[in-house]
Amino acid sequence: MIAATQSLMARGEPLTTVGVTAAAGLAQPTFYAYFTSIAQIRIAAVENAVARLAALGADWRAQLEWAPTDLEAQVDIMTTWLDVPQLAPAN
């Protein structure tokens, strides 16, 4: 469900329990077995993306003799390299 949520967020689609479970190929009641709200899965999806970027960043920086020290520059480079849309704040 987290990957489905991230996909919906990346496309700018509204997050609903129906949309998330449909995108994940699950029945809607399954959502509530793991999450209590859309806000909770949104936070989990962002935390997952940040953790993945941090892990990739650690690997990426370890392979380079240099790396930007500016966090924004690091995120820009990694998201471009991964071809992953940047997370935008929710409206």
What is the pLDDT tens value at each position of the chain, 91 positions in all? 999 999 999 898 999 999 999 999 999 999 999 999 999 999 999 898 888 887 777 666 666 656 656 666 767 766 666 655 545 444 4
pLDDT of residue 54: 77
pLDDT of residue 60: 65
pLDDT of residue 71: 66
C-alpha to C-alpha distances, 72 to 69, 83, 86, nearest whole angstrom = 9, 16, 11
CA–CA separation, 72 and 20 (whole Å)? 29
Could you tell me the pTM of the whole model? 0.62
pLDDT of residue 34: 95
